[in-house]
Amino acid sequence: MANAIVFASPLVPPPVTLRVTVPFAHWLLMSTRESIFEASLDYFLSPIRPYLQDDSVTEIMVNGHAEIYIERRGRLSRVDAAFPTEDALESAVNNIAQYVGRIIDRERPVLDARLPDGSRVHAIIPPGARGGTYLSIRKFKRDIYGLEDFVRLDSLSDAGREFLELCVKLRKNIVVSGGTGTGKTTFLNALSSAIPEEERTIVIEDSSELRLNQEHCLYLESQQPDSHGKGGLTIRQLFRASLRMRPDRIIVGEVRGGEALDMVQAMISGHSGSLTTVHANSPRDALVRLETLSLMSDVDIPVYVARAQVASAIHLIVQVTRFVEDGSRKVTRITEAFGLDEANRYQFRDLFVSHLTGTTREGRLLAELRMTGERPTFSGDIAEHGMGGHVHYTRGLWDE
């Protein structure tokens, strides 16, 4: 073919040779790095392209080249798709790693990255993965959910929505707690919609997922070190830097390590109104988890000091749960944490608890998040701040 050239791609080892036309070569030279990556990614991930383009699919899980699962509407199912060979799947992973400037090989068999559309990618190759290359893609949601959307989806009640919005405006420190895949980040994003527009918000994440509606937002993202161990940037370093940036609010996508101590100390020393998520199956487990993570910092503090600081810092825990029966995700508890008792144990008060009320014809669970009749210790704050006009569904929780 006279008007063809051979393009040896350096993206994967060994190089893949593609025969392309001169017009394509001209496009290649004129295109941006992002468009080149998107085109190559479209080629390498072609076996799962339909699911990447399907908005109803929230996650794609590749368990070796011949076994692919997807999550759609909270349910997992195996699909009739496969990569041609294990080498083809590993080439796709190497293509992603090359774009983000990272290396995945036998010495560094784990990759965390992000696709151009914001979707999160996690990959493990042998010897870390026994069954071949494992690839998980959590798709980026283009639509920004608000708390009213969770009410519409029967995941939250109107009273629960109003209470949480008021607590955000009252600058309460709130933790969204839940297991893997329960929608913690999505709910945190919705919760942030109650932050007043005039405030300056700094968002800190391991892998950027949050998108706030407010205009004055700064997004910080941790970075892995390069092959020489340089250029790394941890959540803890970003959090410390954010304190010098005059934040009104700090949102940490998820606390996983010693940065929990910095966050807790910031909460009790003037940076109230912070929001974060943590992996835990109950409000009590959430605070114990924060306490444990605080002890993982390089500051040597006694256990009782870490516990006392966590108890002083956190006001509310919102527990979100994914139900295996129908794959739905719901807020199952809104719980106040109010210090320690005489035995140095966390004290809790459930303000809202979810009750299952039935199922739809399609088998979807119906639930109602109801007030328990308990009142928060800060029930006088609404009157103190002159916000009584914002109370409609939750009058029983506040002092007049």
**pLDDT tens, position by position, 285-317:** 999 999 999 998 888 899 999 999 999 999 999
Looking at the structure, tell me whether residues 289 and 356 fall in a common domain: yes
Looking at the structure, tell me whether residues 233 and 379 fall in a common domain: yes
Q: Mind giving me the DSSP string for 189-206?
A: HHHGGGS-TTS-EEEEES
Q: Is the pTM of this model over 0.95?
A: no
Looking at the structure, tell me whether residues 200 and 295 fall in a common domain: yes
For the residues 141-150, what does the mean pLDDT come to? 81
Last residue of a domain, one of 105, 138, 171: 138
Q: Which residues face 226 on adjacent strands?
A: none
Distance CA 104, CA 123 (A): 9
Looking at the structure, tell me whether residues 165 and 128 fall in a common domain: no
Query: Is pLDDT above 70 for 14?
Result: no
Q: Is residue 333 classed as helix, strand or coil in its secondary structure?
A: strand
Looking at the structure, tell me whether residues 132 and 185 fall in a common domain: no
Last residue of a domain, one of 87, 110, 138: 138
Last residue of a domain, one of 104, 138, 172: 138
Looking at the structure, tell me whether residues 192 and 251 fall in a common domain: yes
For the residues 179-196, what does the mean pLDDT come to? 92
Per residue in 29-83, pLDDT (tens digit) is 555 666 777 788 888 999 999 999 898 898 999 999 999 999 988 889 999 999 9
Q: Is residue 69 classed as helix, strand or coil in its secondary structure?
A: strand
For the residues 317-332, what does the mean pLDDT come to? 93
Most confident of 27-36, 108-117, 193-202: 193-202
Distance CA 90, CA 105 (A): 10
Query: What is the domain extent for residue 280?
Result: 147-397
Task: Give the chain's mean pLDDT.
Answer: 87
Q: Is residue 130 classed as helix, strand or coil in its secondary structure?
A: coil
Looking at the structure, tell me whether residues 161 and 133 fall in a common domain: no
Report H helices in 280-326: 283-294, 303-313
Residues in the chain, how many?
Answer: 400
Number of structural domains in the chain:
2
Looking at the structure, tell me whether residues 67 and 187 fall in a common domain: no
Query: For residue 8, what pLDDT is reported?
Result: 44
Looking at the structure, tell me whether residues 272 and 230 fall in a common domain: yes
Query: Is pLDDT above 50 for 324?
Result: yes
Looking at the structure, tell me whether residues 349 and 241 fall in a common domain: yes
Query: For residue 143, what pLDDT is reported?
Result: 66
